[in-house]
Amino acid sequence: DAKTTQPPSMDCAEGRAANLPCNHSTISGNEYVYWYRQIHSQGPQYIIHGLKNNETNEMASLIITEDRKSSTLILPHATLRDTAVYYCIVRVADGNKLVFGAGTILRVKS
Amino acid sequence: ETGVTQSPTHLIKTRGQQVTLRCSSQSGHNTVSWYQQALGQGPQFIFQYYREEENGRGNFPPRFSGLQFPNYSSELNVNALELDDSALYLCASSLLTYDTEAFFGQGTRLTVV
């Protein structure tokens, strides 16, 4: 599985969009980009995933660059409850494991 | 609420002892994975069970073993506990081995003294 690089921490004002970047320059053609988050003292929670096209669901949007070497997770209107560690993960579609890095600590402030 | 429950929530053991952690998966989920999360780090994959058979293993020694039962429950066993085994242990269940959305439990916090 390709490695990912994320900033260790970010701050965001409540109500504003939170844009979390991820670099995955060694990603292969059959590897997907996944995002999970982990709120303090809880298990990780799936957010979104994508291969090439941009994706949107009720939680977030995922923007993947054309060369697929980087992506951005967007939380459109961050709330205090979005304060968490966000993990960007790259894996093959039929992979049986998630390889977590250190993630980005997102602090949403009022 | 993910429908995945783990027990106990906290546990203290002495070095050299053995421990069993339990996980109850979502009904119908035939795949369970276990992860170890040390303080300040991301979860690390231990192994996965699919239909009661081990289906992949991370870089963990054989003293980490598991069982999966037909009733959607599973166990993680660790023998000869070491101080470095102190961590949060997470189980995740899914319908298929490669499911995008794995549902994690709240974890068991193991402290080895």
CB B24 within 8 A of CB B4: yes
Report the distance separating Cα B78 and Cα B60, nearest Å.
Answer: 11
Sheet holding A70-75, edge to edge: A18-23, A70-75, A61-64, A55-56
pLDDT of residue B97: 66
Interface test with B, best of A4, A35, A98, A105 (most B CBs within 10 A): A98
| pLDDT band per the 50, 70, 90 thresholds, residue A1 | low
- 113 residues of chain B, pLDDT tens digit each: 778 999 999 999 999 999 999 999 988 888 999 999 999 899 999 999 999 999 999 999 999 999 999 988 999 999 999 999 999 999 999 887 676 688 999 999 999 99
Is A45 within 8 Å of B104 when comparing Cβ atoms?
A: yes
Instruction: Tell me the C-alpha distance between B105 and B8, whole Å.
Output: 11
- Distance of residue B104 Cα from the nearest chain A Cα, in angstroms: 5
CB count in 10 Å sphere of residue B45: 20
In whole angstroms, what is the distance from residue B46 CA to residue A83 CA?
27
**Interface check B21 vs A, CB under 8 A:** no
pLDDT at A2: 62
Are A97 and B41 inside 8 Å of each other by CB? no
Mean pLDDT of A8-25: 97
Q: In A, which residues are within 8 Å of B48 by CB distance?
A: 96-97
Contact: B48, A97; criterion CB under 8 Å: yes
**Is A98 in contact with B43 (Cβ distance < 8 A)?**
yes
Stretch A60-73: mean pLDDT:
97
Q: Which two structure tokens, joined as six digits, stand for B43?
A: 């979860």
Q: What are the DSSP calls for chain A, one per residue?
A: ----B--SEEEEETTS-EEEEEE-TT--TTEEEEEEEE-TTS--EEEEEESSS-EE-SS-EEEE-TTSSEEEEEETT--GGG-EEEEEEEEETT-S-------EEEEEE-
Mean pLDDT of A52-61: 95
